[in-house]
């Protein structure tokens, strides 16, 4: 059993300072995952990697709720899911009517050189991914670990207990399925 798994067991049993020890141990890795995820976000993002890690960690290690993680991989999958929820909530909040809705913010000094930027609609992606999870749960987990946690396919395969080739097939299928699903949502 590695250090993370041992500390997760200590948290589960209610040990007082186990959550602090875990934070110190996994902070750098979670921060790298958050930075990778935020690199995919639109320019001008107000959420920073540090804030994303802290918010996700607070959701993961809620002392009022009993948490149970089977392994290090299970913990990082939960971290990826927490980051996904935070990014989706942030995107929805920005799209709220009281914050300008679908109006785009432009800096006056860059209006002339602004290039069209392609970025998936985070709430639509979340909706499509939730739908995929009901039909192909493993493919949805691969997307979550790959896209939201930024893990390489080899590590995704190891965490899910499948071969790298199987993970690659799930990744290709899920990308095509999500693309088609999101195109259909935009047409509606």
User: Cβ–Cβ contacts within 10 Å for residue 144, how many?
Assistant: 21
How many angstroms separate the Cα of 42 from the Cα of each of 87, 101, 165? 12, 16, 31
Those residues with Cβ within 8 angstroms of residue 30's Cβ, 6 or more apart along the chain or in another chain: 53, 56, 57, 79
CA angle 105, 42, 79 (to 5 degrees): 130
Report d(CA 106, CA 72) in Å as an integer. Answer: 42
80 or 109, which is more confident? 80
Which of 63-77, 94-108, 119-133, 169-183 is predicted least confidently?
94-108
pLDDT for 19 equals 72
- pLDDT tens digits along 27-52: 888 888 777 777 766 665 667 778 88
Domains with residue ranges and CATH for the chain: 1-115 (1.10.1740), 120-188 (1.10.10.10)
pLDDT for 2 equals 63
Q: Given pLDDT bands bounded at 50, 70 and 90, which one contains residue 67? A: low
Those residues with Cβ within 8 angstroms of residue 83's Cβ, 6 or more apart along the chain or in another chain: 33, 34, 37, 52, 56, 148, 149
**Which residue in 136, 122, 40, 44 sits closest to 86, CA to CA?**
122
Segment 76-85 mean pLDDT: 82
pTM over the 0.75 mark: no
Q: Given pLDDT bands bounded at 50, 70 and 90, which one contains residue 105? A: low
CA angle 88, 27, 42 (to 5 degrees): 35
Check pLDDT > 60 for residue 155: yes
């Amino acid at each position: 059993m590695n250090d993370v798994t041992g500390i997760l067991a200590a948290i589960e049993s209610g040990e007082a300072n186990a959550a602090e020890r875990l934070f110190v141990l996994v902070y750098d890795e979670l921060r790298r995952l958050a930075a990778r995820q935020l690199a995919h976000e639109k320019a001008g993002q107000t959420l920073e990697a540090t804030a994303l890690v802290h918010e996700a960690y607070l959701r993961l290690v809620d002392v009022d709720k009993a948490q149970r993680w089977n392994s290090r991989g299970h913990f990082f999958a939960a971290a990826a899911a927490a980051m996904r929820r935070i990014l989706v909530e942030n995107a929805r909040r920005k799209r709220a009517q009281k914050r300008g809705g679908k109006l785009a913010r432009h800096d006056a000094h860059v209006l002339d050189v602004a290039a069209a930027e392609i970025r998936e609609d985070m709430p639509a992606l979340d909706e499509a991914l939730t739908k995929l999870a009901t039909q192909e749960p493993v493919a949805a987990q691969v997307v979550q670990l790959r896209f939201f946690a930024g893990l390489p396919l080899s590590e995704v395969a190891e965490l899910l207990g499948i071969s790298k080739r199987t993970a690659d097939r799930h990744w290709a299928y899920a990308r095509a399925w999500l693309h088609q699903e999101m195109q259909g949502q935009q047409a509606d």
